[in-house]
A and B are shown apart, each in its own frame.
Chain A
Amino acid sequence: MLYYVTKTGLDAFDTARAWGIAIVLNTLTKDEVNIRDVDWAYEVQPLSSVPANPSLSSNRAWVSIFAEDGWQRIFMTVRSGWQDRQDEVRQRLESKLSNVLSNLMNPSNTVAFGTGQSLPGGLDPAGFKGLRHITKARYGEGQLEVEENHWTLACLGMATCGTYRYSKEAGQSNWLVLLPGPQEVRFNYFRDMQDLFRLRPGLRYHGVQNAAAHYAVQLAERLRRRAAAQRSLQDRFSSVLYFRLFGAGQQTKPAQGNQLRLEPLMEAIARDPHGSQAMLEWLDYCFRLGSTKGAEDLALAATELVMRWDTAAYDRLIRVSAHVIGHEQLRRRNPRDFDRFLRATRNEAVFQEVMEVMSHAIT
C-alpha cells in the first residue's frame, strides 16, 4: 500500500512529514519502509501490510521516540510549553491514526493552510512568521497554520531525523538545523537512520553552510560504506536542507536557509563505492582540520567545493590546502587532524576523484 505526502513547497515541512509517516509505518509494521521522491510527492511504502486495527499506544518503539532531544528544539521559537506540544503530537497520532493513514492513501490529498497548528520556526523557517507570544509593543503578524494531522507528522519527522547543533559565533547564539531529503531510501529503524544522520560532535563550525557541507560528506561516507558492503548504492538522498536559528533578544528566530544538493556525491558513490573513499576521507579531514583556529579558510573552501563542485571552488581549496601544509602553528594546535590531513592529501587519487565528480556535476 502506498502513502502519499504531497508537497506544499515548504521544503523542511514536506521532508519532515515524509520521515514522520515512515516512522509511523515502521513502528506499526516492524518492517522496512521505502520512501521515494516523485517530484510532486513523497511515496511511502511499507514492505509489510499495516494491521487491520493499527495502534501505537502500547508500542515500545513508539514510546522511546518521545524521549528524543529534538522535541524541545523544534519548539525553540515558542517561549514555553514544548512538552504540551510534544504530548499533543503523541496523543493525536495515537487517537487519529486511522484517519491520518487513510488520508495519506489518497494521492490527491493536500495540506489545508490557515487552520490548525502554527508552524514553529524550529521546524520550517519558510513557514515561520511573527511572534509566538504577546508583547507590550503589540507587534504581531499572522502565523502560518497547517492542518493538525500534517503538523503532527512533520513534528515527529523533524524530532527524530532532524539534527540540531548549538554554535556560538561572534557572541551570537545559534542553532544549526539540518534535515536530509530522501531520494530513494529504505527506512529500517529510526535509530539506524539517526546513526546515519549523526554530526560529528566537538567540531566548531563556521556557519550553517559549513555544518551542512560536513554533514553531507559524513552522510555520503556512511552510505559509501554500506554501498561497498552491498556492492551497490541502495539508499539515495537528494539534498540536505539547512537553516539557522538565532537568539534575537527575547526569542529565537529562524534565518538563512537553503539546501545542498547531494547528487554529485551520490553519483560518485554509485559509480565506484571503493574509489570515492579516499576523496570523502580527505574532505572530512578538511572539515575537521578546518574547525581549528587559524584554519577557517580550509573549512570554508571545502564547504564551497561541496556546495558547488566547480573549478573556482576546487582551485581555491587546493591553493588553501597548499598553504595549510606549511602552517606549523596549526600543526601544534591540532596535530592529530593535521597529520591525517597530510596523509590523505599525498594521495593523488583523491584529486582525480574530485575532478571526476566535478566533471559529472558540471555536465
Chain B
Amino acid sequence: MQLHEVYKNQALKEFGEALGKAIGHEKDYASLTDFESAQTKVDFADALHRFLRRFHTMASKRENLWYCPSDSGVEELAALVDQVAREIPGDMQVQEREAVRLVRAALVSRALARATYIRVEQDKESTEGGQ
C-alpha cells in the first residue's frame, strides 16, 4: 500500500483535517510533536487519543461547531498501520516503524494543507480588517 492510497483513507482525512484546524487556529504544535515522536503502532494510537482529547477541549471552547473525529477513527487508523505494515518487507520492528511513518506522513500532509489554508484566510481577514 503506497502513500497516495493511504492519503485517501476516510478516517485519516478526518483526523488530518482536525489536526490542520488545531495547528492553524490554535497553534497546537504539541500534538504534531507527539505524532513525530511515535515509533510504534501503540505510540501512534496513544498520540491519536491524546490529540482527540485536546481537540475536544479546543472544539468545546469555540462558538462555531467543529466536527470532531470519532474514537472509532483511532481504531481504523491503527488497523491501517497494520495493513500497511503487512506489505512492508523486513522484520516486525522495521515493518511497524515504516508503516507508522507512512501513515503519519499522509496524516500530516492533510493537516498541513488545511493549516496553511487557515493561515492564508486569517492573513486575508487581517489585511481586510486593517484596511
Q: Does A195 contact B (CB under 8 A)?
A: no
Cα(A352)–Cα(B4), bound, Å: 6
Distance (whole angstroms) from the CB of B95 to the closest CB of chain A: 13
**With A351-B113, A358-B3 as contacts: A312 and B120 at CB distance below 8 Å:** no
Q: Does B98 contact A (CB under 8 A)?
A: yes
**With A314-B105, A325-B115 as contacts: A343 and B120 at CB distance below 8 Å:** yes
Interface string of B24-62 (1 = CB under 8 A from A): 000101001000100000000000000000000000000
In the complex, which residues of chain A have a beta carbon less than 8 angstroms from the beta carbon of B109? Answer: 318, 348, 351, 355
Do residues A322 and B4 form an inter-chain contact, with CB atoms below 8 A? Answer: no
In the complex, which residues of chain A have a beta carbon less than 8 angstroms from the beta carbon of B27? Answer: 326
Do residues B3 and A355 form an inter-chain contact, with CB atoms below 8 A? Answer: yes
**With A311-B3, A345-B113, A359-B4 as contacts: A322 and B108 at CB distance below 8 Å:** yes
Interface string of B110-125 (1 = CB under 8 A from A): 1111011101100100
Do residues A319 and B3 form an inter-chain contact, with CB atoms below 8 A? Answer: no
Do residues A318 and B108 form an inter-chain contact, with CB atoms below 8 A? Answer: yes
Chain A, residue nearest B88 (CB): A311
Chain A, residue nearest B104 (CB): A315
Interface string of A352-363 (1 = CB under 8 A from B): 100110110010
Do residues B115 and A322 form an inter-chain contact, with CB atoms below 8 A? Answer: yes
> Which listed residue (B101, B102, B105, B116) contacts A325, Cβ 8 A?
B116
Per the 8 Å Cβ criterion, residues 60-88 of B in contact with A are none
Chain B, residue nearest A352 (CB): B4
How many residues of B are counted as interface, with CB atoms below 8 angstroms from the partner's CB atoms?
Answer: 26
Distance (whole angstroms) from the CB of B35 to the closest CB of chain A: 8
How many residues of A are counted as interface, with CB atoms below 8 angstroms from the partner's CB atoms?
Answer: 26
In the complex, which residues of chain B have a beta carbon less than 8 angstroms from the beta carbon of A356? Answer: 4
In the complex, which residues of chain B have a beta carbon less than 8 angstroms from the beta carbon of A312? Answer: 101
In the complex, which residues of chain B have a beta carbon less than 8 angstroms from the beta carbon of A326? Answer: 23, 27, 29
> Which listed residue (A325, A339, A355, A362) contacts B112, Cβ 8 A?
A325
In the complex, which residues of chain B have a beta carbon less than 8 angstroms from the beta carbon of A315? Answer: 101-102, 104-105, 108
Cα(A311)–Cα(B105), bound, Å: 8
In the complex, which residues of chain B have a beta carbon less than 8 angstroms from the beta carbon of A358? Answer: 2-4
Cα(A315)–Cα(B97), bound, Å: 12
State the main secondary structure of chain A at its contact with B. Answer: helix
> Which listed residue (B3, B98, B104, B117) contacts A359, Cβ 8 A?
B3
Cα(A319)–Cα(B4), bound, Å: 17
Q: Does B15 contact A (CB under 8 A)?
A: no
**With A322-B32, A351-B7 as contacts: A342 and B105 at CB distance below 8 Å:** no
Cα(A314)–Cα(B107), bound, Å: 12
Cα(A322)–Cα(B123), bound, Å: 17
**With A356-B4, A359-B2 as contacts: A319 and B117 at CB distance below 8 Å:** no
Q: Does A347 contact B (CB under 8 A)?
A: yes
Cα(A356)–Cα(B123), bound, Å: 31
Cα(A321)–Cα(B115), bound, Å: 11
Cα(A319)–Cα(B98), bound, Å: 16
Do residues B112 and A345 form an inter-chain contact, with CB atoms below 8 A? Answer: yes
Q: Does A136 contact B (CB under 8 A)?
A: no
Cα(A291)–Cα(B112), bound, Å: 21
> Which listed residue (B98, B101, B112, B120) contacts A322, Cβ 8 A?
B112
Q: Does A346 contact B (CB under 8 A)?
A: yes
Distance (whole angstroms) from the CB of B49 to the closest CB of chain A: 20
Cα(A326)–Cα(B33), bound, Å: 13
In the complex, which residues of chain B have a beta carbon less than 8 angstroms from the beta carbon of A138? Answer: none
Chain B, residue nearest A313 (CB): B105
Cα(A352)–Cα(B106), bound, Å: 10
In the complex, which residues of chain B have a beta carbon less than 8 angstroms from the beta carbon of A321? Answer: 112
In the complex, which residues of chain B have a beta carbon less than 8 angstroms from the beta carbon of A350? Answer: 113
Distance (whole angstroms) from the CB of B18 to the closest CB of chain A: 14
In the complex, which residues of chain A have a beta carbon less than 8 angstroms from the beta carbon of B29? Answer: 323, 326
Pairs across A and B, CB under 8 Å, 23 listed: A311-B105, A315-B104, A315-B108, A319-B36, A321-B112, A322-B111, A322-B115, A325-B119, A326-B27, A343-B120, A345-B116, A346-B113, A346-B120, A351-B7, A351-B109, A355-B3, A355-B7, A355-B109, A358-B3, A359-B2, A359-B3, A359-B4, A362-B2
Residues of B within 8 A of A (CB): 2-4, 7, 23, 27, 29, 32, 36, 98, 101-102, 104-105, 108-113, 115-117, 119-120, 123
Residues of A within 8 A of B (CB): 311-312, 314-315, 318-319, 321-323, 325-326, 339, 342-343, 345-348, 350-352, 355-356, 358-359, 362
